[in-house]
Structure 1
Amino acid sequence: MENLGLIFGAFYGATAVIFGAFGAHLLKKKLSIEQLQSFETGVKYQMYHAIVLLLLGFQVNFNIPIHIIYAFIIGILLFSFSIYGLVLSSTKNKKLKFLGPITPLGGLFLVLGWILLLYEFVS
Structure 2
Amino acid sequence: MDCTENCLALAQGFAKERELLWALGEQTRQQVFLVLLEQEDQTGGLRVGEIAQRAHLSRPAVSHHLRILRQTGVVRLRKTGTKSYYSMNAETAVWDDLYDLLGRVCAVVHRAREKGAEKWT
Q: Highest Rg: 1 or 2?
A: 2
* Greater per-residue strand proportion: 2
User: How would you bin the TM-score normalised by the shorter chain?
Assistant: 0.3 to 0.5
Q: Give me the TM-score of the superposition, normalised by structure 1.
A: 0.33
* Greater per-residue helix proportion: 1
